[in-house]
Structure 1
C-alpha cells in the first residue's frame, strides 16, 4: 500500500498566515490510500470498485466485496485509521471473516457499524441482513430479518448504497430503504423500523450524518432538476430544507464519496464521474454552520466508487 500525502501546502499557508481553502480547524490534510501490487506479503484488500464500505469516524474504515475487471472479490477488511489522531501514517489492515450468511459481494449494498464499533450489519436485498461480531470475529449463523417490528415492514435496500449511524442514539438510517421511496430508520437493539420522508432527489446524490448538527445532509440533484443542492433534514417537522449556500458547490457527479469531519462541522465530497468523459480528483468542503462551500487542492489521482472517512485532522480515501 502506498500513502501519498497531498494538500500539504495547507500547512505552509498556515505558517505564513495566508488563506487556503483546505485549512479546516486547525488543519486538514488528506491521506489517499491506493491499493498496490507488491512482492511483499502484506495484508490488504484487493483493488476493487463498486464495493461496500462504512466507517466509524476517527477509528476504523470497513470495506467488503467489490469488482475487479468484472470479477467479484469476496473480501472483508478493516483499516485502523486511529493512528492519524497522533499524526502517524502507520495504518494497518485487518482481514475479517468474509464467510457469512449473505453471499452477495457485488451488489453495492449498505453496510453499517453500531455505535460501540463492535457489530457490523450487512443489509441485503431480501429484507434480511447478516450480523458480524467484531469481538467474536464471525458472522451470525444465518441471515436475519431486518425489521421485527412492525410485523409487515416495507424495508428494502434495493437501490440503496449507503447507511448512516447516529453515534448518540445508535439508530441507522438507510436512504430509500423503506419501500424504495422513503428513508428506513433501523433500531438495532429491538430491531424496530420506521420511516422518514426523502428529499426530491434524483439518482445523483449522496448522504452524510453530522454529529455536531445531529442531522442528515443530502447533496445532489433534485426532481425537477435544480442543479447542485444541499438539503438538511429537519427532524422536528420530518421535512427536508433546501439550504441557501455560499461559495461554489461541486459539480453533479455520480459515485462520489461524501463523509463528515470534525464531528460533522464539515462535510467532504471527493471524486465522482459524469458517466461521459470526466472522473474527478477534487475535494469540496461544506461548512455545516455557515453553509459555505470551499474547494481543496486537486488530487493527481482521480477516483470514483471510493471509500472515505475522517480521523482527526485527516481525510482518508481508499479505492
Structure 2
C-alpha cells in the first residue's frame, strides 16, 4: 500500500511537471520578442542553450497585467489557426509591431533565402509577405538583425537586412527597398548583433554596438558605436555623444525604453578586451537619461547575452540567453527563470508588481535587442514634435463646468519656456480662435491652433498667455486687448494654467463657489445696466 502510494505520488509529480513544461517556453537564446503596450511580452523561437544548437518554433506570451513571482511567471502558449511556419523554427530573427498594435511581423534573415511572415493578433492567423531581396552578401555565417517600425509612417527598418544596406519594408505597398548605409570609418562593414530602438523623445532611431561578423566580435576599438538614424535626413547617421558611465561596445545586448522613452536600459551582450582579444559579458544594467544623454550604472546580476528583454512600469524583465563561465570564458546555459530589475529602487528582485498601463502605447521589440516607443499622439503631431521630454497630459477642468477642449498657444519667440501653454475655454466646444489685436506693433505675436467640434458654432476669444519664468515658476501674466476690457462678463472666466517648479502645467486652484458668486454679480450688473438704460430713455 505504501509503495503504491509512493508510485501515485511520483506519477502525479511527473504529470504536473509535464503540464508545467507545456505551459512555459524552453530556455533559449536569441529568441525573437516584442512587448505590446507594456501588457504582454511575446517570444518566439530561439536556440537551446547547449552545444547542439537545436532551434525551436515555440510561441509564448507572458502576461504583464497581473503580479507574479519569478517562480511562477504567467506564461501561455499562443493558440494559432494554423501551425507556426516551418521557417520560424530558427533563432537570431526579430519581430516588428504594426502601428495599430495588431500585427506582429517576423523577419528571418538567417537563411539563404530571407523570409517574413505576419501574425494577426485579432484573428490568430498567419500571412506570408512577398519575397525579400536576395542577399548576395552576408554578415559572416549568420545575420542577427533587428527590425523596428517607425510609428510615424509604419515603415519597418532593418540595418544590415540587405547585406551592407538597410532593408526598408512598407506595409502599405507590401514592397521592400534597400537604402545605402554609412557608419564612420566602418562604412564598408556588415551590421549584425546590434541594438536598434525607436526613440519617441528624439523622434529617431538609436543604434548601439554590433559586429561586422560573428568572428570580429566588436567595433568599439576601431570606431564609434552609438549612432542616431534619422530617416529622410541629409545626414541620416550622425554619431551620438553621451556622458556619465558609458557602456562598452557590446554584441548581442538589448536596449529597451522605459517611462515613455525618457530612459533607455542596456543589459547583457559581450565585448572584447582591447589588446587581449578575450570575450567578456558585463553584469550590470546601464541606464541612459535620454533628455540629457547621460548614462548611469545600475545593479549587477547574472551576465548573459542573446536574451529577451522587456519593460513594464518600474520593472525591467530579462529571460533566457546564454551565460559565460568567468574562469574558462566559455558559454554556459541559462535556465528559464526570469530575472527582474526594479528601475525605481535600482535593485534586482523576484517580484513583479503590475501597474496600470492603460494610457501607455509602447512596444519593445527585439531579436538582438531593439524597441519602439509609440506615443499616443496623432501622426501629424508626431512629425512636428520637438526633441525634448514629453509635456504633461491635458488637464481636466473643474467638475462644475462642462469639459472643454484645450487650446494650445505657442510662443515661438519665448526662449525661457519650451513647454506649451494650455488655456481651457469654458462654453460650447466648437471654438474659433483668432489672435487678439494688440495696441502697439511691439506686442508679441501669438500662433494659435484652432480646436473644433460639430456640437456648436459659438466663438470665444483666447487670452494670450506669457509662459512662466523659470525663476518664478508660479508667476504668470495675462494681457488683454482693448476689446477684452469689459466691465463685466456673463460667463465664468476661463481657468489659467500655471507652471509648478517641476515644469508641469497645472490648473490654478479656484473655488467653484467664487465662480458662481461672480457669475451672479455679473448678471446683476447686466440687469442694472439694462434698467438704467430704460430710465435714461
TM-score class, shorter: 0.7 to 0.9
What is residue 261 of structure 1 aligned with on the other side? 258
1:50-84 CA distance string (max 9 Å, x none): 2222233413222111121222222011222244x
Structure 2 distance, partners of 1:154, 1:112, is 20
Pairwise CA distance, 1:251? 1.9
Q: Work out which of the residue numbers 60, 78, 93 in structure 2 matches 1:109.
A: 93
Pairwise CA distance, 1:223? 6.2
More deviation, 159-168/223-232: 223-232
What is residue 163 of structure 2 aligned with on the other side? 180
Is 1:134 matched up with 2:112? no
Check the 8 A contact 2:57/2:84 in 1, yes or no: no
Which structure would you say has the larger RCO, counting Cα contacts within 8 Å and 6 or more residues apart?
A: 1
Q: Work out which of the residue numbers 201, 205, 213 in structure 1 matches 2:202.
A: 213
Check the 8 A contact 1:66/1:73 in 2, yes or no: yes
Is 1:73 matched up with 2:73? no
Residues 164-243 of structure 1 correspond to what in structure 2 (within 5 A)? 164-177=148-161, 179-200=162-183, 203=192, 205-220=194-209, 225-226=221-222, 229-235=225-231, 236-243=233-240
Pairwise CA distance, 1:306? 0.6
Check the 8 A contact 1:204/1:252 in 2, yes or no: no
Structure 1 distance, partners of 2:256, 2:317, is 10
| Larger helix fraction of residues | 2
Structure 2 distance, partners of 1:128, 1:229, is 28
Check the 8 A contact 1:54/1:62 in 2, yes or no: yes
Check the 8 A contact 1:205/1:254 in 2, yes or no: yes
Matched length: 269
Check the 8 A contact 1:256/1:305 in 2, yes or no: yes
SS in 1 for 2:209: strand
Does the C-alpha gap of structure 1 residues 196 and 262 become closer, same or farther in structure 2, counting only changes over 3 Å?
A: farther
Pairwise CA distance, 1:316? 1.5
Does the C-alpha gap of structure 1 residues 161 and 53 become closer, same or farther in structure 2, counting only changes over 3 Å?
A: farther
Unaligned runs of 5+ in 2: 1-15, 211-217, 273-277, 321-537
Structure 1 distance, partners of 2:298, 2:91, is 31
Q: TM-score, normalised by structure 1?
A: 0.73
Report the RMSD for the aligned CA atoms in angstroms. Answer: 2.9
Pairwise CA distance, 1:45? 0.6
Q: TM-score, normalised by structure 2?
A: 0.45
Pairwise CA distance, 1:192? 3.3
Does the C-alpha gap of structure 1 residues 228 and 310 become closer, same or farther in structure 2, counting only changes over 3 Å?
A: farther
Q: Work out which of the residue numbers 291, 294, 309 in structure 1 matches 2:293.
A: 291
Structure 1 distance, partners of 2:76, 2:220, is 44
Computing the radius of gyration from Cα coordinates, the structure with the larger value is 2
Check the 8 A contact 1:219/1:228 in 2, yes or no: no
Pairwise CA distance, 1:309? 1.7
